[in-house]
Homo-oligomer: A and B are copies of this chain.
């Protein structure tokens, strides 16, 4: 194994980003249209190769976020999702992709970045249903990202990252409903989230205008994990033995 004549193979390292947001109560992911082969013209995740061999992985992710999506990367929640390195996933050669998951609050319009041909928010439903084909194994990566986000909603304050800095509890509920794809009882949800220590911080003496009774405003508290958690309703009960 340790052969003097052998030297380790060199690999092309890429970073790809799964950027999720909420638009019109539906979960969307940011996609770009590829301008070069392979998969030219096809939808793909924003991402790219490392600039040089001194650039950190997270730094590269932030750079791509800025270049291709024109998002203020410093504000975003960014976490490593997984590394995808099947030998045949890229026809150009051995490309290993480190992927990151980012959560963005509601954003205005399909931000056209400087780098990619076109950038647009796409509903994740169209992707998981196979209706919108993606380049490489990006459909799998997105599915993994969604599942990660769904899971993190249960025991981390991730949902607040989808919201504006100041939000109401029904704003928060819409996040949970959109990401989980379920309906929740507003009354029970209202108290459940407030019962979690350090999850929500009330912003005193403020309200907001909608149609019905004005709602109290909150900001994200200092909690990093939710105790007790906000469990998903058990659609899981029906698919337990899988």
Which chain B residue shows the least CB distance to A64? B1
- Within the complex, what minimum Cβ distance (angstroms) separates A205 from chain B? 24
Are A94 and B53 in contact (CB-based, < 8 A)? Answer: yes
Chain A contact residues, majority secondary structure? loop
Q: Cβ of A83: which chain B residues have Cβ within 8 Å of it?
A: 57, 80, 83, 98
In the docked arrangement, what's the CA distance between A13 and B35, Å? 28
Are A9 and B222 in contact (CB-based, < 8 A)? Answer: no
Task: Give the oligomeric copy count.
Answer: 2
Are B240 and A227 in contact (CB-based, < 8 A)? Answer: yes
Q: Does A72 contact B (CB under 8 A)?
A: no
Which chain B residue shows the least CB distance to A226? B240
Interface with B: A20-28, A39-47, A85-93, A187-195, which one?
Answer: A85-93
Q: Does A129 contact B (CB under 8 A)?
A: no
Given contacts A9-B52, A54-B87, contact A222 B241 (CB under 8 A): yes
Q: Which of A4-18 contact B (CB under 8 A)?
A: 8-14
Given contacts A82-B80, A83-B83, A85-B57, contact A50 B223 (CB under 8 A): no
Q: Cβ of A114: which chain B residues have Cβ within 8 Å of it?
A: 1
Interface residue total, chain A, C-beta cutoff 8 A:
48
Are A198 and B56 in contact (CB-based, < 8 A)? Answer: no
- Within the complex, what minimum Cβ distance (angstroms) separates A147 from chain B? 11
Are A10 and B10 in contact (CB-based, < 8 A)? Answer: yes
Which chain B residue shows the least CB distance to A1? B115
Given contacts A83-B83, A241-B198, contact A49 B223 (CB under 8 A): no
Q: Cβ of A82: which chain B residues have Cβ within 8 Å of it?
A: 80
Closest 4 CB pairs of A and B: A10-B10, A8-B49, A53-B94, A57-B85
| 29 A-B residue pairs with CB within 8 Å | A1-B114, A2-B36, A8-B12, A8-B13, A8-B49, A9-B13, A9-B49, A9-B50, A9-B51, A9-B53, A10-B11, A10-B12, A10-B53, A11-B11, A11-B12, A11-B53, A13-B85, A13-B96, A54-B94, A56-B85, A80-B82, A80-B83, A83-B83, A96-B96, A197-B241, A221-B241, A222-B242, A225-B240, A227-B237
